[in-house]
C-alpha cells in the first residue's frame, strides 16, 4: 500500500506516516488507533529510531568538525527517562543534568558519571555533594558562593573537582525573552564584560580542591541564527586568551551549550546542524589563531533538537462547540483530554504547534478552529488558530507533532490531572517508558 507524503518531514518524526486511504497516522510502524487502544490518551509517542538518529547525527557531526575530543551532552531538561538515558549511553553521548532529580535518572540508567555534567544557578549542598561523590565529569560553576561550596565539599570528600565556569558573553540571541540566557541582565553565569568572569577564574584557580578546566555558555533556546553562536565562540575564545595573557593559564575546554532551533509549524526554517557546526568550527579556528591559543576540546548541549521532533502527542476529542464571534464569524472550539498540563509552551511562550486528524480521513471543508485543553483556564490553548475539518466528533484522535522537548518535562498536575505516559515505538513494537500517572500517585503525597 502506498503511503502519502502529506506529513511535513521537518516537523514529524522520521518514522511517522499517514496512510493514503484510511488517513490513519502510523508511528514507528504502529497505527495510532492501536496506540490509543493500548495506552489511552493523552499520550506522548516517542519514535526511538528517530531520537537515536538525531543524537547520533550530533555526535558524528561534532567528531567530524572538532575531532574525537568533542562531546555532545544531551540536555536532560528537554526530556529525560531511564530508557532514553540508556540509549544515549549506548550511542556514545554524554548527558547534562541541572538538578539532583535529573542526576538520579541518569544514575538509575547506569549512565557513566564520567560523561555527566552538572548545571544550575543554585545547586543545593546535597546536589553538589552527590555530584562530586559519584564522580561527574564537570560541575559548571555559576557563582562565587558556589565555587566556595564546591571547593569545601570536594575538600571534605578528599577530591579535586573538575569544573567549567559558566560565562555570560553578553549576547541577545533572537528568541523568546524567557529562554534567552546570555545577555547581561540574567541570573546565569559570570559576566565577561563586567570582569566577574575573570575574578571567578582566578578564584577557581586558587581553590585547592577545584580544577578549572574550561569555560561554558548557553546563549538561549530555539535559536535560528548562527551569528549568535559564532559571537559566543569568539567571546569565549577571547576570554581564554585574556586569562592566558594575564595569568599564564590556558584552559582547554569550551562548551557552548544548546539552543538549536527546530520546526514546529510549516514555514519554520531552522538551521542545518552540520552547517552551523561547520561555521562554528571555522570561527573557532580563526579566533584561536588570532589570539594564539590552542584549539580547546569542544562540547555542546542540545536538548530540543534531539528529542523535540521525535515525539508526538495523541489526544482524543471530548467536545466540539461553535462560538459566534463579535464580527459574526464562527470559531469551533475543539476540546481534547489534556492541555496546559502536558503542553504549557503555547501559554508560556506563545509557542505554535500544528495538528492532524490521526484516526480517519476527512473530506469535510476546513473550518477556523481553536484547539483547547480541559483545564479550568481560558488560556489553556494548545493551538490558537488552526483550520481543521468541520466534521470532527468526540472520540476523534488528534496528533500534535514536535512535542518531545519541554512537553512531558514541563508537565504538571494542574487541576489534579494525571501526567501522560511516554510510549517508545520502534519497528512495530511499543514499550511504555514512563507510565501514566494514577490517582493513587496523587493521593500518595497526601498526609491527611
**303 touches ligand LLP by CB under 6 A:** yes
Smaller CB separation from ligand LLP, 26 or 84: 84
For residue 169 the three cell numbers come to 558573553
Q: Which of 98, 217, 288, 376 is catalytic?
A: 376
Q: How far apart are CA 349 and CA 140, in angstroms?
A: 27
**397 touches ligand LLP by CB under 6 A:** no
138-141/161-168 β-pairing: parallel
Considering only 221, 287, 347, 403, the residue that binds ligand LLP (CB under 6 A) is: 221
CA 402 centroid distance within chain: 11
Smaller CB separation from ligand LLP, 224 or 333: 224
Q: Are 55 and 87 in contact (CB under 8 A)?
A: yes
Angle at the Cα of 160 from the Cα atoms of 158 and 164, rounded to 5 degrees: 150
**78 touches ligand LLP by CB under 6 A:** yes
**179 touches ligand LLP by CB under 6 A:** yes
Smaller CB separation from ligand LLP, 98 or 399: 98
**119 touches ligand LLP by CB under 6 A:** yes
Buried b (16+ CB within 10 A) or exposed e, 362-381: eeeeebebbbbbbbeeeebb
Q: How far apart are CA 38 and CA 123, in angstroms?
A: 40
By CB under 6 A, which span of 23-31, 60-68, 254-262, 320-328 interacts with ligand LLP?
254-262
87 to 106, contacts with ligand LLP by CB under 6 A? 96
Residue 188 CB, nearest approach to ligand LLP (Å)? 8
Q: Is 288 a catalytic residue?
A: no
For residue 177 the three cell numbers come to 525573552
Angle between helices 82-90 and 48-66 (to 10 degrees): 40
Considering only 77, 235, 253, 419, the residue that binds ligand LLP (CB under 6 A) is: 77
What are the residue ranges of helices labelled H in 291-408?
304-307, 345-349
How many CA atoms are closer than 13 Å to the CA of 339, on its beta-carbon side? 24
Map residue 11 onto helix, strand or coil: coil
Report the chain's C-alpha Rg in angstroms: 23
By CB under 6 A, which span of 36-44, 73-81, 391-399, 434-442 interacts with ligand LLP?
73-81
Residue 397 CB, nearest approach to ligand LLP (Å)? 24
**120 touches ligand LLP by CB under 6 A:** no
Residue with cell 500517585: 441
Map residue 210 onto helix, strand or coil: strand
**54 touches ligand LLP by CB under 6 A:** no
Considering only 304, 374, 408, 419, the residue that binds ligand LLP (CB under 6 A) is: 304
Considering only 54, 115, 218, 375, the residue that binds ligand LLP (CB under 6 A) is: 218
Smaller CB separation from ligand LLP, 169 or 259: 259
Angle between helices 144-156 and 125-134 (to 10 degrees): 50
Query: What is the per-residue binding string for ligand LLP in 338-377, x denoting contact by CB under 6 A?
Result: -------x---x----------------------------
**260 touches ligand LLP by CB under 6 A:** yes
Q: How far apart are CA 53 and CA 36, in angstroms?
A: 26
User: Residue numbers of the site for ligand LLP (CB under 6 A)?
Assistant: 75, 77-78, 96, 119, 179, 218, 221-222, 257-260, 301-305, 345, 349, 405-406, 410
Catalytic site positions? 376
Amino acid at each position: 500500500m502506498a503511503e502519502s507524503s502529506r506529513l511535513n518531514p521537518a516537523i514529524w518524526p522520521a518514522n511517522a506516516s499517514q496512510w493514503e486511504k484510511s488517513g490513519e497516522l502510523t508511528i514507528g510502524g504502529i497505527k495510532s488507533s492501536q496506540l490509543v487502544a493500548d495506552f489511552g490518551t493523552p499520550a506522548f509517542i516517542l519514535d526511538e529510531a528517530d531520537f537515536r538518529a538525531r543524537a547520533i547525527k550530533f555526535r558524528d557531526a561534532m567528531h567530524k568538525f572538532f575531532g574525537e575530543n568533542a562531546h555532545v551532552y544531551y540536555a536532560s531538561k528537554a526530556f529525560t527517562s531511564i530508557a532514553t538515558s540508556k540509549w544515549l549511553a549506548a550511542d556514545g553521548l554524554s548527558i547534562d543534568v541541572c538538578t539532583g532529580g535529573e542526576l538520579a535518572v541518569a544514575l538509575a540508567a547506569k549512565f557513566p558519571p564520567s560523561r555527566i555534567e552538572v548545571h544550575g544557578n543554585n545547586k543545593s549542598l546535597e546536589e553538589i555533594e552527590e555530584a562530586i561523590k559519584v564522580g561527574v565529569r564537570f560541575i559548571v560553576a555559576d557563582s562565587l558562593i558556589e565555587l566556595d561550596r564546591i571547593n569545601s565539599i570536594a575538600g571534605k570528600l578528599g577530591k579535586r573537582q573538575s569544573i567549567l565556569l559558566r560565562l555570560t558573553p553578553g549576547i541577545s540571541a533572537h528568541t523568546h525573552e524567557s529562554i534567552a540566557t546570555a545577555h547581561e541582565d540574567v541570573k546565569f553565569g559570570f559576566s565577561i564584560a563586567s570582569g566577574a568572569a575573570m575574578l571567578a577564574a582566578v578564584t577557581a584557580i586558587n581553590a585547592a580542591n577545584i580544577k578549572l578546566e574550561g569555560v561554558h555558555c548557553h546563549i538561549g533556546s530555539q535559536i535560528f541564527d548562527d551569528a549568535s553562536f559564532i559571537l559566543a565562540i569568539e567571546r569565549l575564545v577571547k576570554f581564554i586568551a585574556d586569562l592566558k595573557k594575564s595569568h599564564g593559564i590556558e584552559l582547554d575546554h569550551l562548551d557552548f551549550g544548546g539552543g538549536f532551533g527546530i520546526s514546529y509549524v510549516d514555514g519554520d526554517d531552522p538551521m542545518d546542524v552540520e552547517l552551523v557546526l561547520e561555521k562554528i568550527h571555522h570561527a573557532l579556528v580563526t579566533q584561536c589563531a588570532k589570539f594564539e591559543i590552542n584549539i580547546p576540546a569542544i562540547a555542546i548541549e542540545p536538548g530540543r533538537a534531539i528529542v523535540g521532533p521525535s515525539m508526538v502527542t495523541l489526544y482524543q476529542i471530548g467536545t466540539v462547540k461553535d462560538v459566534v464571534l463579535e464580527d459574526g464569524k464562527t470559531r469551533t472550539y475543539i476540546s481534547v483530554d489534556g492541555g496546559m498540563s502536558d503542553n504549557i509552551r503555547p501559554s508560556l511562550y506563545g509557542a505554535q504547534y500544528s495538528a492532524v486528524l490521526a484516526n480517519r480521513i476527512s473530506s469535510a471543508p476546513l473550518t477556523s478552529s481553536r484547539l483547547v485543553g480541559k483545564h479550568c483556564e481560558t488560556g489553556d490553548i494548545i493551538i490558537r488558530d488552526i483550520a481543521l475539518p468541520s466534521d470532527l466528533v468526540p472520540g476523534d484522535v488528534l496528533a500534535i507533532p514536535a512535542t518531545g522537548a519541554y512537553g512531558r518535562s514541563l508537565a504538571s498536575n494542574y487541576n489534579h490531572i494525571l501526567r501522560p505516559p511516554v510510549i517508545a515505538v520502534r519497528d512495530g513494537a511499543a514499550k511504555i517508558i514512563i507510565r501514566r500517572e494514577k490517582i493513587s500517585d496523587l493521593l500518595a503525597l497526601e498526609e491527611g
